[in-house]
Chains A and B, each alone.
Chain A
């Protein structure tokens, strides 16, 4: 479907990908490890070089085993009088320490158990902070969560300026907080505002920014290849430099304290005033409440921990931190967010095996918003791409979109102009089928009309080689209907992208009964290369995502007809956790598209997809209220004022289709649950019918594609945590007022009957 969702809210930064599954020895907290496997050290010139390397994983995580070995090694170092300073470094390219071991917390039954674990971590870091010899953290690669907390407990930090080096506290994105001293040390180190920004957004900080913020003391340039590979030599060089600095610290040639500039001094002075601090806590609190609608407890707890530490001292701060972390770990929100994280990791793997041929040349048909977006994310990953349109005007617009997408990155400095030019050189904009004879995959993104799609299938199949895959980007047309025109349906597959393609992470891949496994494997491989989170679903009207959204939008139209204003509707939906309100969403999708989909799916599924009157949407389209793209929809766009105005023309239409709201099901909460239960029921039905292969992909699709509230973890996790029985009860209540649109599906009923049945374990 074509719409925008404020993606930053639901976009889980790629960094989380690093904190991946890994098997950990959870049974014993072994204090006496005979042969160490994770941590080793050697003494060079009175400097102990401590190297960490988890042999069971691609990244280092702070689990019980790692922690035990670290404690042991550090104690040995302190016991060795020849050691005057220490360097802490990872032997893994691309990962310093990517965070704490999530499994360790998940295995805990109570909040107290979690708090206890954290206190052990806090204690270890406190000892390092107070160490008689200086510790230098030499950072290359991901330094996140517990890894960063470890690093900031050290006396000195050196980081490589590599693109892979990122520092941050992503705990908030998992519904947690930095629980090993992070909430206490960060404000002192980078100042209150920057510390709040880091901890409340969980954003990644690159090395040069970290240096400016005062998070690291020195930067080391990544090296190219020499007598060893670039990666290997860079780590070696980082170690050499770190050892030099460690010696410098012992010999007092290097000082830890940075000279403070005037601005810094002024800021420190201002922050020293209790009323100023109080005002900051209040402002931050209000901002969090406004953005999270109070649905996410972690940010508030972060503020609380910081405040306690600053106002009541270290001991109180550490206690608040470990206790609050324990409490958060037990919340459904944290479970939901962690579930999404694991789900996302699972959806970033190809479960269909290695495709026979790698797609090296891709062609996109149609240079519209979607086509150009698909081309952009493809060339961005180094794949040569043809962008074909039928008119020069359309092509120029599409090429400009790609250029702008890349150029905006250069403005944000995430890409150099040179890199932009190199990437652009992979794009070939054209009006003919030249070069299609060498294409490995064609993705069509032409107008959503079956006869046009058929024409395109025939035209393209006449020019592409036999191995070439034909993918269709449609949001609602059943793939098998499109495949009817194909001579080679086993090579035909659906690839449903979400707009804007370069921002939305989800890709919904749709297979028909005839699609071959290799075709699916290839489509998934391309999607993964484009950086997508992928769900693979069965064919049918609206597949999975569009099918879930349609009943919810139908219910939204009904609510509008019943006199709930667009603004009220928006606040009800965002209040439930949707990042974009239902009325705004309809405008973003396009009222015409919504009408189109509602009508198509209405025909396919009958009265279950009823509710609001499709004529409302059609009338709006007739009057030119097609949503944001036409300047008017539920709201009026164009004026630069922040306050969105309701479109009075749309209100008039709604009045002419006015329905009476049944009082028994029209309270605010009722409206919220009417919208959500139809969404959820349709999702469960998709699982029941086999459109969805599993609940994980259902949750990921709903959250990453449709903006289902992340705090609920997706429709399936929501049923688990809310209770299928309670939901069925509510639906039956609505059913009485409205009929079969609220009839719970069989699978949902099964879960309601047997509370031991859960979608997620």
Chain B
């Protein structure tokens, strides 16, 4: 009863808000054009002739929670719905103005394999708005966003919602293959005798379940193990990793306390309290971090629970539009989404080096250098992985030997790098992280007055992604 009442009240609030927003939009569009002319540009814009300008209108996310905490009893589409509803609330977007929805997820809940559609329907989007789910490991929502960009650029859509959800509190655990086979045959067995004989064939070993692992299918190596080897390959010490992890938590705490994380929406979890903060940010001391034992390569490894991103539940969503449409609807976009690349490399020894490969490629595409970038947001899978990437980017030898480039691209300066925390501290719901990175870049560009931002991330399968984002003139 209570829950139903709650939902009713929520939708009431939303209706009120929506009306309020639509009143504002006319005024907003006016102010935009004024700004456009007023601003003197310090750097050139990346707009290309003949290419549509595509903008990020806004982005939100649910608080990222350590799995097994407040979200524990939900299902993935519940979280996704919360993010979608949050986006609607935040933008005041009329539900039928959305042409398409693309959503990412990694560990699939089999009941909602097209989680995009289930969440969209549940969030009250028009049942006339198609939705599909994409998966590309930790860059799934990046893929969702670039799919949206593609749809708009191709002239097929004007307004697309993209996002991603990951729910690690519950993962599909399967019966063993043998047991599944028996159970499927059982369905087909016609006589009681046949059924009994099938039941009789079940052995104790059939009952042992198959657990999903964060392991590469091609190499059977878990990601943490690969990260430890990667850190060792680049000579990243335990101390460096712990320091970077501590930096991430410290900066995240500062950002949280300073109210920078404005992409986070409040979410009333059914049966629980309202959640409005990430709960994995825990700045510790170096001594505390040093005490932890290695989690993957024992006893001499360097990757620990504290310098790795933790299992997280969370969802994110962004609204992407063609610039004309956004302006026509009265929005003040936050940023332009410009060039992007996907890269892939050896899934064994270079599993997590995506940013190293993607960064120079996307900069080249945009005609920029590393120095032009004001804001860097890299996905922090492991502190060791970030440090390894920074060292690889700083190495001419690596660029020449493995990437076929003449020189190194260079490592981003730390004062511009993940200054509001990162996946290590904020959390990393696999398929939701991409939207967080892009939204954060947009917010940081606005706050810090920069013009270009760079997002880069690694992903399982030895893949990677980078995107250049340009601040929308304020």
Contacts and interface: CB of A to CB of B under 8 A. Distances in A.
Interface in B357-397: 388, 391-392, 395, 397
A418 B346 CA distance: 13
Interface centre among A222, A227, A244, by most chain B C-beta atoms within 10 angstroms, is: A227
A224 interface: yes
Contact of A224 (B217, B220, B229, B391): B229
A224 B350 contact: yes
Interface in A158-186: none
A416 interface: yes
A227 B232 contact: no
A221 B297 contact: yes
B472 to A, nearest CB: 39
Interface string A216-237: 0010111111111110010001
A425 to B, nearest CB: 13
A418 B348 CA distance: 12
Given A416-B219, A416-B220, A418-B219, A225 B402 contact: yes
Nearest to A416: B220
Contacts, number: 59
A416 B233 CA distance: 23
B417 interface: no
A221 B229 contact: yes
Contacts of B392: 226-227
Given A221-B229, A418-B218, A227 B300 contact: no
Contacts of B402: 225
B225 interface: yes
Contacts of A222: 229
A224 B392 CA distance: 13
B219 A226 contact: no
Contact of B349 (A227, A230, A241, A245): A230
B77 to A, nearest CB: 32
A226 B398 CA distance: 7
Contacts of B219: 416, 418
Nearest to A245: B300
A606 B401 CA distance: 64
B297 A227 contact: no
Contacts of A229: 401
Contacts of B398: 225-227
Interface residues of B, number: 26
Given A244-B300, A418-B218, A227 B229 contact: no
Contacts of B234: 226-227
Given A416-B219, A418-B217, A224 B300 contact: no
B94 interface: no
A221 B222 CA distance: 13
Given A221-B229, A244-B300, A227 B395 contact: yes
Interface in B386-425: 388, 391-392, 395, 397-398, 401-402
B172 interface: no
A220 B234 CA distance: 16
B233 A230 contact: yes
B349 A225 contact: yes
A223 B348 CA distance: 10
A243 to B, nearest CB: 11
A218 B297 CA distance: 11
B449 interface: no
Contact of A227 (B228, B350, B397): B397
A224 B349 contact: yes
B217 A227 contact: no
Interface in B214-261: 217-220, 225, 228-230, 232-235
Interface centre among A220, A223, A226, A228, by most chain B C-beta atoms within 10 angstroms, is: A226
A218 B392 CA distance: 29
Contacts of A227: 234-235, 391-392, 395, 397-398
Nearest to A221: B229
B218 A224 contact: no
Given A241-B300, A244-B300, A224 B225 contact: no
A225 B350 CA distance: 8
A230 B350 CA distance: 11
A757 B215 CA distance: 65
6 contacts: A224-B350, A226-B392, A227-B398, A230-B349, A233-B233, A418-B219
Interface of A: 218, 220-230, 233, 237, 241, 244-245, 416, 418
Given A226-B392, A227-B395, 10 more contacts: A221-B297, A223-B233, A224-B230, A224-B233, A227-B398, A233-B232, A237-B232, A241-B300, A244-B300, A416-B219
The 4 A-B pairs of least Cβ separation, nearest first, read A224-B349, A226-B233, A226-B234, A223-B233
